[in-house]
Amino acid sequence: MRSSVLLGAVLPFAQAIRIVQSNDDGWAEINARTFFNSLSAAGHDIILSAPAENQSGKGSSDADPTTVDSDGCEFSSCPGGSPATGSNATDPRLNYVNSFPVTSMKNGIDVTAPALWSGETPELAVTGPNVGSNVGIQAPFSGTIGAAVHAAHTAKIPALAFSGVSGDPTAWDQATPIHSKVYADLALNLTSTIIDSGAPYLPDDVFLNVNFAEVTDTTCNDASQFKFILTRINTGILSDKDVEWCGSTRLPWEVDVVFLRGQCYASVSVGDANDKTTADATSQEAVLEKLKPLLTCL
């Protein structure tokens, strides 16, 4: 089955829900803002709660927010000496937290969301798309994954972590790079598929680790060119069997799919939110049933 369900075909059928978004590259980074705009345009109630500065590689670190230092937020998005938490002057859905990604996600779920949604909390959490991949041994150290794991494990909110190979940290007010557009389209495509599958969106204590291959001006420069592949986070040489899919009980390794295949692939790994490793076959099967409209075989 062709994996690339076209964006225009997905949006009219997506149920609008409450979504909290974070990342580890900072609240003003253009990947996150582009995805935020896509989710908003699709009709979702979306809030962004992300670090005031780039906090890549901080994993599951968590600490109380502090007053912004004299340098201000990243890309001059808030002045030095700003409060420990704050929002965009014209859009209260855009929020910074001067701390780690996990802290930002916590603040979004526990403070910002109820304040903006009359006491309601998020139904889904998304992170990223991260600037750079988060596959294999990168997973334990990723703040993008750390924030998603907090949502899934501690807050019991289903969570999707998105990352893309291409790009460098870019300010929200610059021209949108092609990779940001493609990654936002792909992330919205998968998010819509999960939402359309119905609640519960994911099994308990499960998150999805989704990585998009390289995008250039001439290759993989449109979401319709991508194929979604069900993968695993760790290689699984000594692990129990995976869900049976594509004629095998061993799913491909996400590192192999994203970096070694040389094609327009998106890896989708079902992660265990207890330890950031690959979830068991039962959880994989539940996700497989939801994502079959998107997935294809290598």
Of the candidates 222, 188, 230, 232, the one whose C-alpha atom is nearest the C-alpha of residue 31 is 188
Interval 53-81: pLDDT, tens: 999 999 999 999 999 999 999 999 999 99
User: Which pLDDT band holds residue 14 (cuts at 50, 70, 90)?
Assistant: low
Q: Residue 128 and residue 99: Cα distance in Å, rounded?
A: 16
Interval 172-200: pLDDT, tens: 999 999 999 999 999 999 999 999 999 99
Residue 7 has pLDDT above 80, yes or no: no
- Average pLDDT (125-138) is 97
Contact 249, 226 (CB under 8 A): no
pTM here is: 0.94
Q: Residue 216 and residue 178: Cα distance in Å, rounded?
A: 8
Interval 233-246: pLDDT, tens: 999 888 899 999 99
Contact 53, 86 (CB under 8 A): no
For residue 296, what are its two tokens?
């294809």
Q: What share of the chain is helix, strand, coil (3-state, %, to 5)?
A: 30, 20, 45
- Enumerate domains of the chain plus CATH numbers: 7-211 (3.40.1210.10)
